[in-house]
Amino acid sequence: MLVESQATLIQFDQFEQARATREKEFQIMRRNEEKRQTIAVRDWLTAANAEADQENYGEIRAQYPGTGDWLLQRRHVQAWLDPNSSSTPLLWLNGIPGAGEYPVPNFSS
């Protein structure tokens, strides 16, 4: 009976050690997940890298030469681009994204 009680105490100690080890592992995993979430939120809130975006979109535009040329041919846009022009510094464009020249925008005065 004494041997059985000693075996039970050893098993209990082993169980406690295993539980403590798992608790430490869990705490490490929890801290790592909190760090990952913090980094994800920080990255989401960080301002976009305009230089990288410009380079990326420049590469995409290079694959489609002539895109947007129709817009630059409009006299209102040319006047807006002219630094010697007395036009307003604001150019308002609206339309369906990706629609291009169709339908033709109305830039009448």
Per the rule left: phi > 0, alpha: psi between -120 and 50, beta: everything else, 100 is left
DSSP tally for the chain: helices H, then strands E: 4, 0
CA-CA distance, 62 to 36, in Å (whole number)? 36
Q: In this structure, what DSSP letter does residue 103 have?
A: S
With a CB cutoff of 8 Å and minimum separation 6, the contacts of 71 are 77, 93, 101, 105
Question: Of the ranges 13-22, 65-74, 82-91, 93-102, which is most confident?
Answer: 13-22
pLDDT 10s digits, 9-20: 888 889 999 999
Total-model pTM: 0.41
With bands split at pLDDT 50, 70 and 90, how would you rate the model's confidence at 82?
Answer: confident
* Sequence ranges of the domains in the chain: 50-81
What is the residue-averaged pLDDT of the chain? 82
Res. 83 pLDDT band, cuts 50 70 90? confident
Report the distance separating Cα 28 and Cα 34, nearest Å: 10
| The pLDDT of residue 72 | 86
